[in-house]
Structure 1
Amino acid sequence: MAQLPPITISTLDLARLEALLDKQPDSETVRRLEDELERAQVVTPENMPGNIVTMNSVIRFSMAGGDTFTKTLCFPRDIDGSKDKISVLAPIGSALLGLEAGQSIEWPGPNGKTLTVTIAEVEYQPERAGDFQS
């Protein structure tokens, strides 16, 4: 099995995600997110590096060939049908949490193909903006 990349999360996100998981029925997705939280380095929001994907971050991705797209990592309550939002409870959402700009991730593409995309930039991160209420 490939070694998982290191991840960092804030104490604020950890508390909110643990409260969310306490209300979820047991599933593979819930267990995957619990595993991510257990292996994460945890820091205070004020000490979160600005290039890390946290909850409510806006992330710009790049693909081979130069195409880019942008998504926001959200709590399930904030998903409003927008194609630009990803729930942290989606497999790709839990995989994004705690990664940093420059890291790559496999993304489910059209026709069942898996694409490798790179986190080009964390365009907005609540902690970097001093927004600890999101």
Structure 2
Amino acid sequence: MTNRTSGGAKPRITLTAIDHEKLTQLAIAATNTFPDVAAELADEVARARVLAKGRQLADAVRMGSEVLFQDEVTGKTTTVTLVYPPEADIAQGKISILTPIGTALIGLSVGQSINWTTRSGDVKRLTVQAVRDPADGSPQSA
């Protein structure tokens, strides 16, 4: 089943309790240095369904997940790993949660799509194709 949304509506997202706690703290801490992205991250965290401690969804993007997504305009697929800012290295495909695309990806499940705005103001749409769990490395795909 595909959970696509139309227009500007955002899909339902799910976070682990640990990610929810850490990302809430990160959004607060980044308010002065990255106000736009920090506000977007705070909005995403606030609207997320939070799982009980110790629970996780195998196909939901969380911190450390490797994500395969498709750009809905170009059809290009990209694989990235979602990380905290100190670990970010675009050359290694590690993108920070404090980037517009990182914030857009968090909490999405396989098959979900979301519109996101680049730093230059362009609106793009992506669909999650697969999520590789950081704990066991097993891929979950549509």
Deviates more, 1:5-14 or 1:60-69: 60-69
Q: Normalising to structure 2: TM-score of the pair?
A: 0.73
CA distance in 2, matches of 1:126, 1:45: 17
Query: 2:112 matched to which residue of 1?
Result: 103
Structure 1 pair 114/48, CA: closer, same or farther in 2 (3 Å)? same
Unaligned runs of 5+ in 1: none
Query: 2:28 matched to which residue of 1?
Result: 22
CA distance in 1, matches of 2:100, 2:57: 24
- Residue correspondence of structure 1 range 51-130 to structure 2 within 5 A: 51-63=59-71, 67-82=76-91, 84-106=93-115, 115-122=124-131, 124-126=132-134, 129=136
Q: How many residues align?
A: 127
Structure 1 pair 20/116, CA: closer, same or farther in 2 (3 Å)? closer
Q: Normalising to structure 1: TM-score of the pair?
A: 0.77
Contact 1:54–1:73 (8 Å) recurs in 2:
yes
CA distance in 2, matches of 1:33, 1:61: 19
Contact 2:16–2:53 (8 Å) recurs in 1:
yes
RMSD: 2.8
Could you list the runs of 4 or more consecutive aligned residues of structure 1 that deviate by over 6 angstroms after TM superposition? none
Deviates more, 1:81-90 or 1:29-38: 81-90
Identity %: 35
Contact 1:79–1:87 (8 Å) recurs in 2:
yes
Paired residue secondary structure (2:91): coil
Contact 1:12–1:44 (8 Å) recurs in 2:
no
Once the two structures are TM-superposed, the CA of residue 66 in structure 1 deviates from its matched residue by 5.9
Contact 2:100–2:116 (8 Å) recurs in 1:
no
Structure 1 pair 3/81, CA: closer, same or farther in 2 (3 Å)? closer
Residue 31 of structure 2 corresponds to residue 13 of structure 1: no
Q: Which amino acid aligns with 1:87?
A: S
Contact 1:24–1:30 (8 Å) recurs in 2:
yes
Structure 1 pair 68/25, CA: closer, same or farther in 2 (3 Å)? closer
